[in-house]
Amino acid sequence: MAEHRTALVIGGGIAGMSAAIALRRAGLAVDLIDRDPHWRVYGAGITITGPTLRAMGKLGILDEVLRQGYAADGIDIRSADGTPMFSIETQNEALGDIPSAGGILRPTLHRIMSEALLALEPRVQLGVTVVAIEWQGARTGVTFSNDQSCAYDLVVGADGIYSQIRQHLFPDAPRPQYAGQLCWRLMMERHPDIERRTFFLGGPAKVGLNPVSRDQMYMFYLEAQPEPVWREEETQHSVLGSLLEGYGGVLSDVRHHLGAASNIVCRPLETVLAGENWVRENAVLIGDAAHATTPQLASGAGMGIEDGLVLGEEIARHEDVRQALSSFMRRRYARCKLVVDSSLEISRLEREGSAPREQTKVVERALDALNQEF
């Protein structure tokens, strides 16, 4: 059905690669462009929920993710001094035998996904952006920064939270908004006491540790700030050390080992939901371009992968691209909005210093919904 159709995927991140894989498997000829001439990925480790692992299985990368990453069911909740408080069980019969949680290094996930994509032989152009979009009846004409142009049956904007394609398609769409927290991330050797996701609650900020491989883990620290604060890289280890004062247990060990060579990233958390409709003509936004979330539910990457899978399914099901995109929106909007809204609710509770049980109830409620098939 789809052999004669063409698609352009703008952005080679998680959502873009997922869409490109799914569309190639649906029989479309796919062009993928990315503005980075080296197709690099930045960041530390990421947490993976069970629903995301299930989506990775449908994408065909789960075995490699489990082999090169880490999986363990449940979440341990500890007090700021490191005392165990309670645990959240994350297993759900809707997931079958798929693990309900895990972690992986971002560069590792990028490599796994890009290898899976390149095996399907799309046309990939790097260091290229879109400079103009023109509607041509049933197709869309696109002019690129390398002076080339082409018309496509489907255009997919997957160029992230600061999406230029969102501005092309929806000039009045909301812009990213600061969510009231800075997220500190620290990569380090895995501590022997950390066997699965572990949250430290009840202190000045929420702190989490998560294994991303057999011998590595990452820490996040969510610092409440009314406005974004940019930290100098040279002094980040000192600032983070000060923030961790008073935390005990494993976090005391982490603080003790901080130094100028520590692998630290500090960024303000931002979010955007591009309205109730991400479709214009035969173009659609997916991933962070449509629904960037804060990381409280560890579901941003998962929603991007699901977007790509659902897009491929609907394109394969419908000869008419616009009908496919209409079905795509019906399946995706409420689920993605749930992630954005729930994550912001958890963020608010964290900033207000709410009781740990109150915070984790939102996590459990959202995960119960996300465990259902998308």
3-class SS string, the chain: CCCCCEEEEECCCHHHHHHHHHHHHCCCEEEEEECCCCCCCCCCEEEEEHHHHHHHHHHCCHHHHHHHCEECCCEEEEECCCCEEEEECCCCHHHCCCCCEEEEEHHHHHHHHHHHHHCCCCEEEECCCEEEEEEECCEEEEEECCCCEEEECEEEECCCCCCHHHHHHCCCCCCCEEEEEEEEEEEEECCCCCCCEEEEECCCCEEEEEECCCCEEEEEEEEECCCCCCCCHHHHHHHHHHHCCCCCCHHHHHHHCCCCCCEEEEEEEEEEECCCCCEECCEEECCHHHHECCHHHCCHHHHHHHHHHHHHHHHHHCCCHHHHHHHHHHHHHHHHHHHHHHHHHHHHHHHCCCCHHHHHHHHHHHHHHHCCCC
pLDDT at position 92, please?
86
Secondary structure of 126-163 as H, E, C letters: ECCCEEEEEEECCEEEEEECCCCEEEECEEEECCCCCC
pLDDT at 2: 45
| Boundaries of every domain in the chain | 6-72+98-175+271-353
Cα of 129 vs its chain's centroid, Å: 22
Q: Which CATH architecture has domain 6-72+98-175+271-353?
A: 3-Layer(bba) Sandwich (3.50)
The CA-based dihedral angle spanning residues 103, 109, 113, 115, taken in that order and rounded to the nearest 10 degrees: -130
pLDDT at 333: 98
Over the chain (374 residues), what is each successive 10-residue block's mean pLDDT?
80 98 97 97 87 96 96 94 93 89 95 98 97 93 96 98 96 96 95 94 94 94 95 93 96 95 94 96 97 96 98 97 98 98 96 92 93 92
What is the spatial distance between Cα 274 and Cα 37, in angstroms, rounded to a whole number? 27
- Give bridge partners of residue 207 from the DSSP assignment: 200, 221
Residue 107: which of 287, 263, 235, 221 has the closest Cα?
263
The pLDDT assigned to 91 comes to 86
Amino acid identity, position 53: L
